[in-house]
Amino acid sequence: MNSGIHQFFRYQWLSFSAVISGVLFLSSCVQVQDSAPDNYTKQWHEISDAEPVPVERSKYGNPESYEVFGKTYYVLDSAEGFQQKGIASWYGNKFHGERTSSGEEYDMYAMTAAHKTLPIPVFVEVTNHDNQRTAIVKVNDRGPFHEGRIIDLSYAAATKLGVAQTGTANVSIRVITTAEEKSRKLSNTFVESPVVEGDKLYVQVAAFTTEENALQYLGKLNAEGFRDVRLHIESNNGVAVYRVRIGPLPSEQMAQQLVSQLEQKKHDNLKVIYSN
């Protein structure tokens, strides 16, 4: 069955929805009984996956942190590349039609789910390792808050994955990023600035105010197999800035490929720039 921890301060959602520092999510401080719908006849193979589409972060569902049962949870800045293993549970009748953390209504017949720290909404692929079934769901809610449980599935998603019958299951999840979202993120790494004749193309990986830190980062990149890593020193209002860059590169296509490789190694705040 589900985690039973939803509707936390639900009555406050409408009155204090602007107060995002508190926990105004579909999560409950008390254990409640849940149940499956009475007349759900779809078989697991008849249930379609959620279709991943480009999304914008929910206005109300992504505070920097929130607290439940005395434990603080920190919402991730980015979902890209996220993977996790643990136990899945589900929730159904008790919360059908209620407001989720993203502001949408919970629909137990839709392919949705709850997660504690992923930015919402986001699409994830869930694999049930007990029966090898997979499903794609849209995460739009917070929970579950039982130890070891990583995702709370809608009843439809739980049925497709075989979790509705067992109550819980051993699963893994991975975030799905649409091609449009990847393209949009990649385009944001390019710094629009006038290109002066003779400027060369670089990917800037990091910037530091101390040479020691910059050299350590440069060494890390070399150890990861990246070549042509350089240290560019600039002055910003009389303060030295040490910029770690890779290049020069022959084309923007090569820069895009390099950005993807760096992201796979968990480097962020990347910029593609022209510089002398």
Q: Report the pLDDT value the prediction gives residue 197, as an integer from 0 to 100.
A: 73
Poorest-pLDDT segment among 14-18, 27-31, 94-98, 158-162 = 14-18
Q: Give the pLDDT confidence score for residue 152 in this predicted structure.
A: 96
Looking at the 3D structure of the chain, how many domains does it have? 2
Please state, in angstroms and rounded to a whole number, the distance separating the CA atoms of residues 93 and 114. Answer: 15
pLDDT at 31: 43
The whole-angstrom separation of Cα 152 and Cα 141 is 9
Last residue in a domain, options 132, 153, 177: 177
Report the CATH number at residue 140.
2.40.40.10
Which of 1-5, 154-158, 237-241 is the least confident region?
A: 1-5
177, 207, 223 - which closes a domain: 177
CA atoms of 94 and 201, how far apart (whole Å)? 56
DSSP assignment string, 151-178: EEEEHHHHHHHTHHHHS-EEEEEEEE--
Is 22 a domain residue? yes
153 and 269 belong to one structural domain: no
Task: Express each pLDDT in 93-141 by its tens digit.
Answer: 777 888 888 889 999 999 999 999 999 999 999 999 999 999 999 999 9
pLDDT interval class at 234 (50, 70, 90): confident
pLDDT digits (tens, 9 = 90+) for 136-156: 999 999 999 988 899 999 999
Is the pLDDT at 1 greater than 60? The verdict is no
**Residues spanned by the domain of 249:** 189-275
Q: Does residue 16 register a pLDDT over 60?
A: no
- Among the candidates 134, 151, 177, a domain finishes at 177
- pLDDT at position 231 over 60: yes
Question: Any idea which residue has 């999304």 for tokens?
Answer: 55
Question: Is 127 found in the same domain as 27?
Answer: yes
In Å, how far are 49, 50, 62, 90, 228 from 95, measured between CA atoms? 21, 20, 21, 11, 55
